Amino acid sequence: MIKSIPVLIEKFKTGRVTLRANPTLLDDSIARLSTAAQEPAKKFLDLMMSNEADLEKVYLGCVTIMDNLPDEVIEDLEAYKQEVAKIFGLLMPSSA
What confidence score (pLDDT) does residue 95 get?
A: 45
Q: How many domains does the chain divide into?
A: 1
What confidence score (pLDDT) does residue 55 get?
A: 87
Cβ pair 33, 44 in contact under 8 A: no
Q: Within a domain: residue 93?
A: no
Confidence of residue 93 (pLDDT cuts 50, 70, 90): low
User: pTM higher than 0.85 for the full model?
Assistant: no
Give yes or no for residue 80 having a pLDDT over 70.
yes
Q: pLDDT tens, 19-77?
A: 899 989 889 989 999 999 999 999 999 998 999 989 889 889 999 999 999 999 999 99
Q: Within a domain: residue 96?
A: no
Q: Within a domain: residue 94?
A: no
What confidence score (pLDDT) does residue 3 get?
A: 73
- Residues of the domain holding 53: 5-88
One-character DSSP codes across 19-60 = HHHSTTTTHHHHHTS-HHHHHHHHHHHHHHHS----HHHHHH
